[in-house]
Structure 1
Amino acid sequence: MKSRSLTPSAAFAVGSAGIAVFSVMDAVMKGLSLSIGAYNALFWRSFAAIAIAGVLYAVRRPALPSRATMRLHVARGVIGAVLAVLFFWGLARVPMAQAIALAFIAPLIALFLAAVILKERIGRATIGASALAFAGVLTILAGQARAEMGHEALLGAIAVLGSAVCYAFNLILMRAQSQVAGPVEVTFWQNLVVAVTLALAAPWFATVPDPSHVPMLTVSAALSTLSILLLSWAYAHGEASYLAPTEYTAFVWASLLGWLVFRETLSPWTLAGAALIVGGCVIAARIKPIPLKEPIA
């Protein structure tokens, strides 16, 4: 416990760096999704990610996880595969800032899932915060309709919202998983299970990418692994409530990268909707954060 209070500023800086790295990875994956499709981008990237995480994992000479821990790895990996496909499929069809803003609703969904899974109570203030965030989602979708971005953009927004639901459940599993496994172990098994899950659809969807895409697939895997390790270090040295605001810096990075790389503009509707969603999440976080519970077997 002592190490968690030693370097709060450093933890905040490292956490912010982790979010920045993850945002760059999102931009790389959006480009790959536009070029070879979200499924193929994720499927082939997973092999590079397994190699990178596998080396880090093997150096530690780990023992095999227990059956209960493996169930957590498998459950989170399967859900992670679904949410990743949904998110990156949607990200290829909507501006980066809009996708990230919609994804911010995941922590609030996690509160309601915690009520069901962890038997937590939900007060009126939490419901009010959720209503505020939902108003933000509607604001973004209204702006999308006014901009006449087309049917594909609407489907993309729906896919991002679907990924947010999956990510909310993923948060519950992650909190249980963090009690029984370290970040390197989690990263390795997460990538392995994701790859196996995606491989089930390979006969129908997989196509061998052009060799020119291999460097970016490798870069994406490296960025993803680095981000996970940075965030794991940050949350080991700082309180979750103190580090939570770093998550919202992703909107700034998404806006900047979307403009620089994809020439996307930030609409007032997206900005207003993001403010409402973030406001609802901040209010909910102040009420009662999701506590760490016993591992879900």
Structure 2
Amino acid sequence: MKSFTIQEINAILKGELLGNTNQKIKGPEELQKATSNQISFIGNQKYIHLWKTSNACAAIVNENLNIEPEENRALIKVNNADLAMAKILELFNPSSPKFEVDIHSTAVIHKSAIIGKDSKIGANCYIGKDVVIGDGAVLYPNVTIFDETIIGNNTIIWSGTVIRERCEIGSYCIFHTNVSIGADGFGYRPSDDGRGLVKIPQIGNVVIGNYVEIGANSTVDRAKFSSTIIGDGCKIDNLVQIAHNCILGRSCIMAGSSGLAGSVTLGDGVIIGGSSSIKDHLTIHSGAVVGGGSGVMNDVAAGKTVVGYPATDSRDMFRQWVALRKLAKS
């Protein structure tokens, strides 16, 4: 089991150490649940009172908070406690599942596929015709990669994920369990006789940049033509739907159960809150924020925050909510 002194941890964080503890720190934990050999963190004024009753031997705190160490209980003051705690979590992060062999005997790999150096392929994986997998990639058991797909270096793909034909995946991506990349977009039109629906062929692909992370059970659909595009550094939560021909810029965030209808464009750094829905053919410009549970029916300007259903400027919507509350009380 890993353990560190408070001095060793502070050497990593490069913060200001206040007080001391002789406890060997064996992991991080919430203030209320921490034991005497665990470290916690305080990033907000409202949690300071929990320090007194916590059993944690140390805490990482924002430098602007007024809080003091206690006997055999230390504090490390840093500029950003959340980011500092991320370093601690990485420090104690258990190792990933191990592969006994680089390529499992039950994996089915087409003879034309190219597998990069030091890549690992788990049991019952399927690798199709003309697939190219870069160096150091990891495919856990039961991953399916269909024909002509390209996957970059050091990308990690967890079990149950399916990547359809002709997709292009960058390097250093992480796809969690049961992600679907490149399934048909949702396209139907009424038939000429009005008695059924005609499926519109979806002949494009999906192009995903570098350092993209996609959560469990999320879907990115292929384009009707051209490409559905996910830019470098985007982070997609669980249960997210990205429809055909959407384009995401760099470092966008989409929280759980949110969804983009077809041909939506997100600029760089857009944040979509959980359970939000974006109407088709809209543009959410760079730096905009869509609050959780919102329904966006119109384009959103750069840097603007919208909330509600239908979504509107957050300040206007908050004023409406206050007015409605007052009206209900009158």
- Relative to the length of structure 1, the TM-score reads 0.19
Normalized per residue, the structure richer in strand is 2
Q: Which gives a bigger RCO, structure 1 or 2 (Cα 8 Å, sep 6+)?
A: 1
- Relative to the length of structure 2, the TM-score reads 0.18
Normalized per residue, the structure richer in helix is 1
